[in-house]
Structure 1
Amino acid sequence: MRRAVIVDFGGVLVRSEDPRPRRDLARDLGLSVEALEDLIFASDLSLRAQRGEIPEPAFWRAVGERMGLFDPEAVHRLRARFFAGDRLNEALVAALRGWKGRVALGLISNAWSGLREVLRRLGLLDLFDVVVISAEVGLLKPDPRIYRLALERLQVPPPMAAFVDDLPENVEAARALGLYGIRFQETEAALRQLQGWLDGEISG
């Protein structure tokens, strides 16, 4: 039976490698970086967008309004500056491309409604056999149902799937279902674990 590798998007496939743009933006807004990131990623507003209750453009308009920004161009600049330090994890992408065809590839992300278009622009949408985005399915990690949905679409049982995420609670939820969970902290280490699991050297 074919194995599956499932990865997260933010913090794994795309990482914030240069902290300066976000730090400078927070300073200009009179916020700490932590407060800014909480607003964008963890606020009630963001969670509603991640559940698909509001579309991403409405989310960013509301963020702008909270910052006193009502001009669409100013909101666009805010968004661009917030993500300016993010970089694609090229080594992970290369490994996934090398496994494609031999291993089923999936992505599970707690994300707003625009992620599928982001993946298309990055040339990554066709890399994955299955893409499960929280805003499209109304489920957020670590809810077990979002993992089960991905497994059903990939047509693999939990023991035949590895899952990579940077948040420990998401990894633990995957492990509780029987997947081989990898807490992402550093690319080379995660790739060694994945390759060892695929080679049968590491059991789930």
Structure 2
Amino acid sequence: MISFLKKAMLYFQKNQEKTMANKIKTVIWDMGGVILRSEDWSPRKELAARYGMTLESMHDFVFNSVSGKLATLGKIEEEAHWGDIGGQLRINSESLREFREHFWAGDSLDHELSDFIRKLKPNYTTALLSNAWTNARNVLTKSKPCIDAFHVAVFSCEVGLAKPDPAIYNLILRLCSSEPEEAIFVDDFVENIEAANKLGIHGILFKNADQAMTDVTALINGSGAG
């Protein structure tokens, strides 16, 4: 009987320790398409029509061109990337300025989601993980302020790594002093979520703000954290 009780207590203790170890401690968020989103697509649609592109091809042109990828990794400045865009479009500096303004005109910061993250901050490590160009930190500090919602902010251009490279997930986990199973990651790209899941991070594919907040809350409550 004593031996059985000892075994039972050891089993309970090990499982309790495992449960405690697997508590959610960190919630990591993407920026573009999640916290900062295009809510009004009309400016980009008008821009695409003006330059003979579809919305999809224009996005690919801006984000996935050679210079766009270099800017994402911080190998060139954002201004150099836009200069390349202007060169390919064969437009002057004034037309390029208008292109840039129209491209971002429909984007807005989700204040409700930002406030939700701020409410998590006292009890969890909140982090930002973004594939972004060199002006991103400045944007989130000044024109669309939400950088204060995060303990840690990692921008691809500052570290020379980009999602879905496992190295950038491992980097932010180290900065947050978190194990993969202790972290949640919210992103709007399937490939980025799949990469996080492979490392053991709890990935949530962003569809809308209400869904993301509900899913994060459910994971936190289910983990026994808080």
Give the TM-score normalised by structure 1. 0.94
Partner of 1:175: 197
Match of 2:98 among 77, 87, 100: 77
Secondary structure, in 3 states, of the residue corresponding to 2:222? coil
- 4+ runs deviating over 4 angstroms: none
Alignment RMSD (CA, Å): 1.6
Which one-letter code corresponds to 1:175 in the other structure? N
Greater C-alpha radius of gyration: 2
Match of 1:43 among 61, 65, 68: 65
Q: Does 1:146 pair with 2:172? A: no
Q: Is the 8 A contact 1:171 1:181 kept in 2?
A: yes
State how far apart, in whole Å, the 2-side matches of 1:86 and 1:202 are. Answer: 36
Q: Does 1:95 pair with 2:128? A: no
Partner of 1:105: 126
Question: What stretches of structure 2 of length at least 5 have no aligned partner?
Answer: 1-22
Secondary structure, in 3 states, of the residue corresponding to 1:69? coil
Partner of 1:192: 214
Kindly state the Cα deviation for residue 126 of structure 1 after the two structures are TM-superposed.
2.1
Kindly state the Cα deviation for residue 46 of structure 1 after the two structures are TM-superposed.
0.5
Kindly state the Cα deviation for residue 70 of structure 1 after the two structures are TM-superposed.
2.6
Partner of 1:160: 182
Secondary structure, in 3 states, of the residue corresponding to 2:48? helix
Query: CA offsets, 1:102-159, max 9 Å, x none?
Result: 1111011111111110110122122211111111111110000000100101111111
Kindly state the Cα deviation for residue 201 of structure 1 after the two structures are TM-superposed.
5.7
Secondary structure, in 3 states, of the residue corresponding to 1:193? helix
State how far apart, in whole Å, the 2-side matches of 1:54 and 1:105 are. Answer: 29
Q: Does 1:65 pair with 2:87? A: yes
Kindly state the Cα deviation for residue 91 of structure 1 after the two structures are TM-superposed.
2.1
Q: Is the 8 A contact 1:104 1:154 kept in 2?
A: yes
Which one-letter code corresponds to 1:163 in the other structure? F
Q: Is the 8 A contact 1:51 1:135 kept in 2?
A: yes
Kindly state the Cα deviation for residue 67 of structure 1 after the two structures are TM-superposed.
1.1
Kindly state the Cα deviation for residue 89 of structure 1 after the two structures are TM-superposed.
1.6
Partner of 1:118: 139
Write the mapping of 1:125-140 to structure 2, written as runs, cut at 5 A.
125-140=147-162
